[in-house]
Structures are given as C-alpha cells and as structure tokens.
Structure 1
C-alpha cells in the first residue's frame, strides 16, 4: 500500500516537473512563467491585473504568455489584432471557460442552453418596443425612489450619503423592480446582493477564506430563495421579463433548481454595472467643475424646451435630441473604468497573424486573453495622458462625436471597448446607456448635489475587480443632496 502511494506521488511529481519545465518554442510568444511552480503569476495577476499586465507589456510587448495557476495564458494587447481572435470560433472557444465560471460563482449548470438561443432571447427583450417599455418603466421607478428618499425631509433639508452607495442602491432597486417586479423584498435582495457581489471576484478565483466562503454561500442561497419563481410570482405579470426567462429555460430543458439559480446570474449580469458606472460619472463631474458646468449647460438647453418636473419628465428629450457633451463624458468615464477581460480557450493549434504581419503559434489547451482596458483604453499612443479625465476627449471642435483614434499611424477599429466586441458584445448596451443617462439627468435636474468636502479627491479603484466589468471604488465619496426648490436652479 505504501509502495503504491509512493509510486503515485512520484508519478505526480514527475508530471508537475514536466509541466513546469515548459519552454518557449519557435514562433511562440515570449514566455514568462514566474518563480512559483504551477502558480506562476497567479497571485500578482489576481491582486492587480492592470498593474501586472502593464509590467508584462513593458517587458515583452503586445503579446506574451504567462503562467497563471496551472494555465498558460497568452495576453494580446494589440487592438488592431483583436478581430483575429474574436472572429475565429473554430480555434478559440468561450463555452468551457463560461461553464467553469457559472459553476464556480453561481453553482449553476446550463448544459442544454445554446449561446445563440440565449442571445436571441435577450435581444428580444432589450431591443425595439421592449427596450422602450423597459426604459420607461425604469424611469418611473427611479423617479419614485428619488422622491421616497426624501420622505419626511423638509424642503431645504440636506441628506448625506456615500455617492457609490447612493448610485448603486437607487439603480439596483429600480432595475430589480423593472425586471423582477417584486416590491416587498427589494431592500433585502439589495442587501444580500451587495454581500454576494463583494465576494464575487474571490469566488471566481477560488481564493475565499473559510468565513468568506460561509458568507458567500449564505448570501447565494438566500438570493436563490428570494428570486425563486414561487417568491416572485405574486408580483409578476404573465408576460414579464422574469416569467419569460423561466419559460425560455424550461424550453431549453433546464430543471427547476437550475432555473432558480439562473435567476441570480441574470440579476448580477443586469444590475452589477449601472450603479458603479453612474458613481464614476457623477464622481468625475463633482471633482471637475468645468465638466459639470458643461453638462449642466447642455441639460439646461434641453430643459428649456419643456417642463422638467418629476410629474412631466423629459427623459424622452435625451433620445430626441443629441447630447454630445453628456455622451463624451460617459465615453470618457467608461474608458477609465470599464475593465472587461475577453478570454478564449485555444481548442486547436493556431497560427495567429497580427496586424503588423508577425505570426505566433498558440498551443492547444492554452488560453488567450484580451484586456482592452490596458490597450486601447489606457494606451498613451492612442489616448494622450490616458490617466487623466478629459470630459471633451470624445468631442470634435464642431461638437460632433470624435470616434476616430490612431496607433502607429493606423486608424483603430476599437478606440475603446467597454461593451466587449464581436459575437459576445453586450446586448443590453442601449438599455444600460439609457438608464445611466436617465439617472444622471434626474439627479442633476432635481437635486442639489455637492461633495461634503469640496477638496475631496475621487477614490482609487478596487484592483481586485479588473476583468469583471465596471470597476468599483476602494472607498466612497461623501456627498450631500436635497431636492431643488424649483427646476430652474440648475
């Protein structure tokens, strides 16, 4: 028995040594394995991916392979070459990575759901007439929540809160009411969701401590219960988004337990980004007075066209009239704070040809990672002084949209990529943009909003959130606010 165990351990050690002894072959990207066997650069990658990959880029250039927790990941940072990965669904696959993440984070398995069918279902709800209905419903809920926040307050009484807390709370609750249509458990769902979301990156990386794992499991199970069809059916209409989603899963052969778990996945994907995006946008405006005045001036021009009371909202004006300054501020905000990672598994050996004509051999079983946050979004060759917020970065001198950016004299297809790209780009982009516009429009036209400390600086980002959509702050910005006495004070 002991001899058998010895042989097994010896065999395992030999396999580890063979795997760890990988060397760079001809025409492969530069290889950087790190000093730790198997782990490689996993700790540094998980702690601050942007800092680590920036260092690797300086060392190796726009393409390199790193070892991360047993995986060899080829990182591509040339935006002109992204399409050569995104458009190749034969050699590059996302399904296995997605399956692993769903199981790890949400304890969810959807073996029969085809990506094309799921995308088709999502498009049906976030485009055309359905999009208009969702946007109108979202606006109504935002107005009601904004008013209810001031119940019991005098007409000139200030309230104080963290800006991140304020934005996330209002947008999450409005989004939950819009999609799930359950009013009596909104506060509890939000509370549990924030607990779960705070631990989500560690769930994805399997780096939770024992007490954190208990907390994550508790919040996840509670959210499954709160989002179950039985709990939600009392407030949902037959043709609601939530009911439609469960019917779709039934048609795809998903059992009742997995349907319940899938509801949490949908809650996270639809509600995790709007609040943080609104926080950063308002935070940049509050800390850049010239940008705030430019946006308010533009909104005043819209408001002059019609009454802007909460009883007669003018959200439709944002769709009927161009708002180039507002749009530039939003684009600049997303450039600085949207940090999605696009990952693919190499399912067969591939010769990847870059835009500059160089060719690299990628091995089957490795992974490819595109990180648009680092390039193009934070690339100084594309965006001058990329670390600095410039509200007019996406404006031409004639106030038209600036959408042409260059690197090495060649125009880029992607100047920024906050919504991903290709077949996996965000289907809900229009709904998200409309929602953020509605929210910021309502706050700036109906609230006096200011920082508690006029000299305060916008907090830094939480570096563990790189790769998971919108970045979140490592702290908060304290603000105070009150309802405006009239709508002409802005």
Structure 2
C-alpha cells in the first residue's frame, strides 16, 4: 500500500472521528469509498500518466456508456484526450491505446503485459469453464499443429466437401427462387459446414445451431454483466443444452477426427469429462462465431455496391474453387480486407503487471501503472481512423489495391508508414491460430455463392442494416436486423 495513501487515509479518518454528530453510516461509506479508489487516490503525485477520465459516477465511472456502445464512447474519449487515456469502468482503471505506431510496445512485451486473470474470469462467467491445469502455450501449440500444414489441408478439403453438399445438394428438388435473410443464410450454412468439418456429427447439426444462436446472441451482454434476468435464463438453458449435445454420448468420436484428438489432448492434461464438454463449447464458439457474420457483410457490401460486384464477378469468371486459393485474386482480396476493416472489432486486452513506460508517435512518454488494464482497439484506430483512411465509414472495394492491381500495403499516419494498418485478426494476426482456415472458409463460400447462385436483393435499393453495438470487442460485428435476399441455382 502506498505510504502517502496511508497518511492521507489516517488524517481523513481522524478528522471524521473528531466530528461527534457525523452519522456512523456516512463514516463507513466514506472509508469504503477511499478504500475502493486507492489505486488512483494519489494519482496527482505521479507524472507522465495518460489523461485520466473517471466519469461522474463514483466507482462506476463510465461503465454504463462503455457497455452500451464501447466504440462510440471510446471515439468520444479519443476526441477529448487523444490517442492514449485512462478511464474508470466499474472500479477498474483501463488505459486505452489508439496509436498504431505504439502497439508493439504492448504486444511484444509479455513480461509487463499479460493476458492474466481477465480471460480466466471471462471464460468462467460465459462458458462455465475452468482449465487450471492447462498452460495457454501448450494448448496453442496443439492448435497450431491442427490448423497448419497437412492438417490444415485436410480440414479445408473436408470443409469444401461439406459446403458443396449443404449449399448445392439442397437445390436438387427445387429450381425456383427462395427468400431468406442474408445473415441467417450465411450464418446457418457456414456454422453447419464448420460443425460437420470439426465435430463430424451430421445428426444433430441443426439442433446445435439452434441452441448456439440463442447462446451467441446473449454472450456479449453476459460478458459485460448487462444481461437481464429472463435473458440470462435463456442463455443458461442454451449453454446447458449445448454441453449435452457436445458430450461423448452425442458426438461420433472417430479416432482421426479433430474433436476426438482435442478430447484426447484434454484428457492427457488431466481435464475431467465435465470440463471437456465445456472446452468443446468454447472451441465451437471460437471457430464458428465469425465466419458467418464475415460472409454476410462481404456479400452484403457486394449486393449493395453494384460496381464492386461487377469487378469481383469479372475477376472470378472462369476460375475453379481450386484457383481461388492458388490464382491471384487482388480485387476479391481487397473486398475481403475492406469488409474486415469495417466490421471486425476485436479488443486486445492485457493486464499491466509491472509499471511500464510507453512512447507514442508524437514523442511523448506515458507511465502505465501496475494493476491497471490496457486495451488496444484497432477498429477505432487504425481501421476507421480518418487520418489513415479517407471517408473511413464508406465501403470502397478497391481501397487495398494499387494502380497496377497489386495489393496495397502502404498506409500512413503522421507521415510514417504503418506496420499495423488493419488488425481484424487481433494482435497482428499472430494470436489467431485459425486465420488461414477462416480465410479459406470465407473465400470458398463467397466464390460458391457467386458462381453457382443468382442472388438478388428482395427490395431494390435496400441498404445494409446498422451494426449491433453490443458486439464491439468480440470479433466480427453482427447486424441489428437483416438484409432480405432471394436466390436460386444458375441456369448453367
């Protein structure tokens, strides 16, 4: 405990106790307030700390605004304080770093900044999961073995087969137009494709998807402790049903399947049967929660931007599914990058475990305190920073193309080239083990839709729905609403 804080606390305590007519309950509340605010009680004594914005509410600070729409709130704080600032959120002091030139100071320092207990607490609250015996690096190494090289090729082959069966075979007995919401169409097809690829149980894929959507729709609010009581009951019910559906009694545990090998890994690490089911739910969510929404936004942008649709269709004309992975598709790749820039909103969280100085691109040095947290929010900067991307809220399909149709990778901030000019995969892409598998899935699905189906907007001139602000910080954004489309098999 800080010595200056102790002196101040005792002086206040003695002063209060000399006032005989002061109500005892007020004394208790004053002492409690001083205790809970001790980490910043003497912040004025420290130099070079980021600007501090506590908010108007004691202890709560900016918790309500942060939880309701974190992007809007942090944009307001950036406008007020600049690229680095500290805010109080429910008693926690969070430093927000929005200068892309300084990101590596945090990302490359695993000694001063750790994932820490925040992730452990979040997994316990949302997934009911405790994996105390597993080291994160051990699990990461296992995942890398199964999402890279030969294993990745095998998964992609299975994925492509299931995708073709689900999307195309369903039209064998119906050649006419169908209608659906584009988000529902993309999410349902890609979820079932991914589930069959990794869990290989066709019999309960639809049931798992139904419960998964109930679970996923409420997960972010539960994580932020803003879920209402009735909604929490629905979340808990869906989670329990998913645990049951992912138990060995329901899964087809083939010896060479991905989920069987993952269960074997958990068993070897001493994880009991109950936690194995919960760990499988975490992996199901991690691998399936982003591909569907990403394809929705990509196809939605193309359908609502005819020039972009024409450019992509022209590039893909004559290509096979194999060509999409091996043949250069710069226009398609630019559309994907632009889609992710606008709709991927991950937050990178770290615990500050020792005092650390951070230098920003303007030459200033800021002290970060041990015990606080730090957040990097690439969606706000660099991805939608107007100093980096002119008209950042607009979809421009050729934004990541050079004049010679090669990939554009040079973007500037303060006249300096950015290393991190877009970060849809988190910490520079290094932390996303399944990145290559996800890109393969998105590109194959969109290629299949554009080359085998006629897809049209049900309403001419329809626009994409707004985003759901509760999803900021949890990967791909979801729409608040849907985009109605009609589709059928192409004549040839």
Please give the range of the TM-score, normalised by the shorter of the 2 chains: over 0.9
Map of 2:483 onto structure 1: 477
Answer yes or no: is 1:97 the counterpart of 2:118.
Answer: yes
Contact 2:94/2:374 (CA < 8 Å) preserved in 1? yes
| Displacement of 1:206 | 1.3
1:68 and 1:13, CA in 2 relative to 1: closer, same or farther beyond 3 A?
closer
CA distance in 2, matches of 1:26, 1:207: 35
Q: Structure 2 vs 1, CA of residues 40 and 323 (structure 1 numbering), >3 Å: closer, same or farther?
A: same
Contact 1:20 1:37 in 2 (8 A): no
Question: SS state of the match for residue 474, structure 2?
Answer: coil
Alignment partners' CA distance in 1, 2:338 and 2:444: 18
Moved more, 422-431 or 57-66: 422-431
SS in structure 1 opposite 2:455?
strand
Q: 2:268 aligns with which of 238, 248, 251?
A: 251
Task: Answer yes or no: is 1:353 the counterpart of 2:370.
Answer: no
Indicate if the aligned counterparts of 2:37 and 2:91 stay in contact, CA closer than 8 A.
Answer: no
Show the counterpart of 2:298.
281
* Structure 2 Cα separation of the partners of residues 432 and 76 of structure 1: 27
List aligned pairs for 1:147-226, cutoff 5 A: 147-153=168-174, 155=175, 157-226=176-245
* Residue 11 of structure 2: aligned partner: none
Alignment-derived partner of residue 71 in structure 2: 50
- The alignment status of 1:12 with 2:32, answered yes or no, reads yes
Runs of at least 5 residues in structure 2 that lack an aligned partner in the other structure: 1-22
1:241 equivalent in alignment to 2:247: no
Contact 2:293 2:476 in 1 (8 A): yes
CA distance in 2: counterparts of 1:292 and 1:79, whole angstroms: 32
C-alpha contact (below 8 Å) 1:87/1:422 kept by paired residues: no
C-alpha separation in 2, matches of 1:209 and 1:53: 24
CA distance in structure 2 between the aligned counterparts of 1:5 and 1:60, rounded to whole angstroms: 37
Instruction: Indicate how the Cα distance of structure 1 residues 251 and 7 shifts in structure 2: closer, same or farther if over 3 A, else same.
Output: farther
* Distance (Å, rounded) in 2 between the aligned partners of 1:10 and 1:316: 68
Candidates 373, 378, 383, aligned match of 1:377: 383
Distance 1:148 1:4, change over 3 A: farther
Deviation string for 1:265-296 (max 9, x for gaps)?
00000000000000000000000000000000
Query: Which residue number corresponds to residue 323 of structure 1?
Result: 329
- 1:281–1:330: 8 Å Cα contact kept in structure 2? yes
Distance 1:133 1:18, change over 3 A: closer
| Equivalent in the alignment of 1:451 | 457
Q: CA RMSD in A?
A: 1.8
Q: 1:241 to 1:26 in 2, by over 3 A?
A: same
Distance in structure 2 (CA, Å) of the matches to 1:245 and 1:39: 41
- Tell me if structure 1 keeps the 8 A contact 2:420–2:428: no
Partner SS state of residue 368, structure 1: strand
CA positional deviation for 1:95 = 2.8
Q: For structure 1, which segment, 144-153 or 354-363, has the greater mean C-alpha deviation from structure 2 after superposition? A: 144-153
Q: Are 1:171 and 1:275, in contact at CA under 8 Å, matched by a contact in 2?
A: yes
Q: Distance in 2 between matches of 1:382 and 1:148?
A: 45
Distance 1:12 1:215 in 2: 36
Return 414-423 or 159-168, whichever deviates more: 414-423
Structure 1 residue 353, shift from structure 2 partner: 2.1
Q: Counterpart in 2 of 1:307? A: none
Asked if 2 retains the 8 angstrom alpha-carbon contact of 1:20 and 1:38, the reply is no
> Can you list the C-alpha shifts for 1:310-339, whole angstroms capped at 9, x where unaligned?
xxxx32111221110000000000000000
Partner of 2:18: none
Aligned to 1:114: 135
Q: Report the Cα offset of residue 69 of structure 1.
A: 1.1
Give the CA deviation at 1:9: 5.9
Tell me how far apart the structure 2 counterparts of residues 16 and 406 of structure 1 sit (CA, whole Å).
42
Is residue 268 of structure 2 the alignment partner of residue 267 of structure 1? no
CA distance in 2, matches of 1:17, 1:396: 52
TM-score (norm 2): 0.92
User: How many pairs are equivalent?
Assistant: 469
2:311 maps to what in 1? 294
1:466 aligns with 2:485: no
Map of 1:31 onto structure 2? 52
Contact 1:451/1:478 (<8 A) preserved: yes
SS at match of 1:149: helix
Question: 1:333 aligned to 320, 339, 343, which one?
Answer: 339
**2:421 is the counterpart of 1:402:** no
In structure 2, which of residues 396, 399, 402 is the aligned counterpart of residue 393 of structure 1? 399
Offset of residue 149 of structure 1? 3.3
Once the two structures are superposed, residues 326-355 of structure 1 have per-residue CA deviations (whole angstroms, 9 ceiling, x without a partner) of 000000000000000001001111122223
Provide closer, same or farther for how the CA distance between residues 78 and 346 of structure 1 changes in structure 2, counting only shifts above 3 A. same
Residues 347-403 of structure 1: CA distance to partner in whole angstroms, max 9, x if unpaired?
111122223331111111100000000111001111111111000000111110001
User: Partner of 1:454: helix, strand, or coil?
Assistant: coil
What CA deviation, in whole Å up to 9, does each residue of 1:206-260 have, x standing for no partner? 111111111111000000000112211xx23202110111111112221111111
SS at match of 1:184: helix
